Chains A and B, each alone.
Chain A
């Protein structure tokens, strides 16, 4: 079994521009507490789970107890009511361990608890949010379909009225947490062409969620299909405040915000690991870090990570001031995930052959980040969103 010997050392975080000084004391305390938890409880088990292709479900209650599930949800419903920067720091610390583990938390918080709080009835909020906050219940978010990823508006899943109930029929794909979820947020088009959101308990007749196996990325995270064969749900399961596709997309803005922060954590983990390696590893009787090529690689990576840190810090402050727009999130998600992927790959080259083993983190992070580059709006789509923003021309279609 692989061990995490190289990854459980305390982090010496790169903070070249003293971003720490820009955080308030509570934000730092949140970051430090989550960091301790991740270092002590999560990092030691991640390589094994990644190799086995299993999610560390034994940690779910601890995630709940610490408050990592839906931390931005209001205290009234079981959340902690944290600000956006603190939420971002949580994502950063979790993804320092693994993008798949962060995906679990992002889905639960941003894609399940957020829409229930934003679009749900009081009854739905009171029933589901406390359970989801403790981890007693797990949720998933069904928007993407086999043929509709970047263009979710083309979805084929249908909802039709039948008396007081709705009948859901269709298929979803690439759904994080699907197989282990107790409840799915399913997006479907009704008979009037309007997109609606439904809470579907996963034990309803006609509902199944087979796991998608054979991934070489996000192996610590469960990815599933959702198959709905004439699944009957009552009207009380419909999210009453949903206003079409834009409501579904607003959930993605919240999740992408966390991803932009998370990517910084993955990059820092790789950088921290490789800095140690460059000091210990001797080549031609000299430390690897003393060679010019190594130094310029580290200079480039350190610079990009620092830029990424500043980007998300500013994004978080804008979100808390209410002036953040989805386009701002697109820039941070696109930039930081690409940055983290490049850093992970470059660190792998410095680690040499060691870098392809699970004893080191860089290879695992690089594999994970290939998914993160594509999900929650591909790098290309976010480029088009920014192109639209800067030129006024929309270039999404054919």
Chain B
């Protein structure tokens, strides 16, 4: 079975965000990594391939040329080949543009399963997976925490408010992966050595200007310092008053 997994290079979740003059994240000194939710997608793609005993996993990313590093990690985890769609303005692309780029590449792959992380942790838009599926005219199941392939259909559990629902869809389909779906493997040393010999194709793409433009970016306000109301039982009434009327948690 042909399986594709779409991944993104994002700033590490431990990054201390500094906003640059162009109202974008200042990349100086920032560590980049594979989007953590995409690791669940890669793991699931590899598990499907391994349980079937045949097929291939192609990793696809749209981004700057630097994203080669993240694709190499996916190859080291076990993907068979990778495609990097690159453009200098990729960081300014909106979700719809990204989805268009990916869909155009995926259209020719005949992939039966396309895995995504449920969101990229940089912009948190949750949109690319469903948008790609819409462009390809295939079903999409989002926020999947349990995945099963039965013949020509998938049966998935997905998180919904206050619970889970079980859904099914025929192949081909797109899946966006949530934490808890699986435990992503580490890239083994053999895998890292093998990745050097796997195909990684870099394609320059034409980019339309994004429909959605970021016009400002700001950091959250500083948290106010804590306040000691008092000590002992005498302070309890005032504490309850503060919790009720200031914090509004009671």
A and B pair up: yes
By a beta-carbon cutoff of 8 Å, the part of chain A in contact with chain B is 10, 12, 25-26, 29-30, 33-34, 36-37, 65-68, 71, 75, 80-82, 86, 90
Cα–Cα, bound, A80→B190 (Å): 5
Any chain A CB within 8 A of the CB of B193? yes
The residues of A that contact B193 with a CB separation of less than 8 Å are: 26, 75, 80-82
B contact residues around A29 at 8 Å (CB): 69, 72-73, 76, 187, 192, 195
Given contacts A25-B69, A25-B72, contact A65 B188 (CB under 8 A): yes
**In contact, A33 and B186 (Cβ under 8 angstroms):** yes
- Chain A to chain B contacts (Cβ below 8 Å), 15 pairs: A10-B14, A12-B14, A25-B69, A26-B196, A29-B76, A29-B192, A29-B195, A30-B192, A33-B189, A66-B186, A66-B188, A66-B189, A67-B189, A67-B190, A80-B193
In the bound complex, CA of A37 to CA of B186 (Å): 7
Which single residue of chain B is at the shortest CB-CB distance from A62?
B186
Distance (Å) between the CB of B228 and the closest chain A CB?
15
Interface centre among B189, B190, B195, B196 (most CB of A within 10 A): B189
Q: Which residues of chain A are near B187, meaning CB under 8 Å?
A: 29, 33
B52-87 with Cβ < 8 A to chain A: 69, 72-73, 76
- Among A33, A34, A65, A71, chain B packs the most CB atoms within 10 A around the CB of A33
Q: Roughly how many angstroms separate A10 CA and B195 CA in the complex, as a whole number? A: 26
Chain A neighbourhood of B196, CB < 8 A: 26
Partner-A contacts on B (CB < 8 A): 14, 69, 72-73, 76, 186-190, 192-193, 195-196
Question: Which of B69, B187, B195 has the most chain A CB atoms closer than 10 A to its own CB?
Answer: B187
Interfacial chain A residues near B72, Cβ < 8 Å: 25, 29
Which of chain B's residues have a CB closer than 8 A to the CB of A36? 186
Known: A26-B196, A82-B193. A67 touches B188 (CB 8 A): yes
Interface of chain B: mostly helix, strand, loop or mixed: helix
Are B188 and A26 neighbours in the complex by a CB distance under 8 Å? no
Please give the distance in Å from A1's CB to the nearest CB on chain B.
24
Q: Check if A26 sits within 8 Å of B192, measured CB to CB.
A: yes
Quick one: closest A residue to B193, CB to CB? A80
Task: Give the distance to chain A from B70, nearest Cβ to Cβ, in Å.
Answer: 10
In the assembled complex, the CB of A213 is this many whole angstroms from the nearest CB of chain B, namely: 34
Could you tell me if A80 and B69 are in contact, using CB atoms closer than 8 angstroms? no
Q: Cβ of A30: which chain B residues have Cβ within 8 Å of it? A: 189, 192
Interface of A is mostly: helix
- A75 and B190 contacting across the interface, CB-CB below 8 Å: yes
Q: Closest approach, in angstroms, between the C-beta of B231 and any C-beta of chain A? A: 20
Supply 19 further A-B pairs (C-beta < 8 A) apart from A29-B187, A29-B195: A10-B14, A12-B14, A25-B72, A26-B192, A26-B196, A29-B73, A29-B76, A29-B192, A30-B192, A33-B76, A33-B192, A36-B186, A75-B193, A80-B188, A80-B189, A80-B190, A81-B193, A82-B189, A86-B189
Provide the bound-state CA to CA distance between A81 and B197, in Å: 14
Q: A230–B193 Cα gap in the complex (Å)?
A: 45
Question: A26-B196, A29-B76, A33-B76 known; A71 and B188 CB under 8 Å?
Answer: no
Which residue of A is nearest B69, CB measured? A25
Could you say which residues of chain A place their CB within 8 Å of the CB of B186?
33, 36-37, 66
Residues of chain A within 8 A of B189, CB atoms compared: 30, 33-34, 66-68, 71, 80, 82, 86, 90
**How far apart sit A30 and B196, CA to CA, in the bound complex (Å)?**
12
A71, B193: Cα distance in complex, Å: 11
CA separation between A29 and B186, bound complex, in Å?
A: 11
Q: In whole angstroms, what is the CA distance A68 to B190 when docked?
A: 10
Contacts of B69 in A (CB 8 A): 25, 29
A37 to B187, CA, bound (A): 9
Q: Across chains A and B, which 6 residue pairs bring their CB atoms closest together, nearest first? A: A67-B189, A80-B189, A33-B187, A37-B186, A67-B188, A80-B190
What's the Cα separation between A80 and B196 when bound, in Å?
A: 13
Question: Could you say which residues of chain B place their CB within 8 Å of the CB of A65?
Answer: 188
Residue of B nearest to A68 (CB): B189
Contacts of B14 in A (CB 8 A): 10, 12
A44 to chain B, nearest CB (A): 15
Q: List the B residue with the shortest CB-CB distance to A72.
A: B189
Expressed in whole angstroms, the Cα–Cα distance for A71 and B188 within the complex equals 10
Chain A proximity of B46: nearest CB distance (Å): 14
A81 to B186 alpha-carbon distance, docked (Å): 18
CB distance from A143 to the nearest CB of B (A): 28
A159 to B189: give the CA distance in the assembly, Å: 39
| CA of A25 to CA of B187, assembled, Å | 14
Complex Cα gap A66–B76 (Å): 11
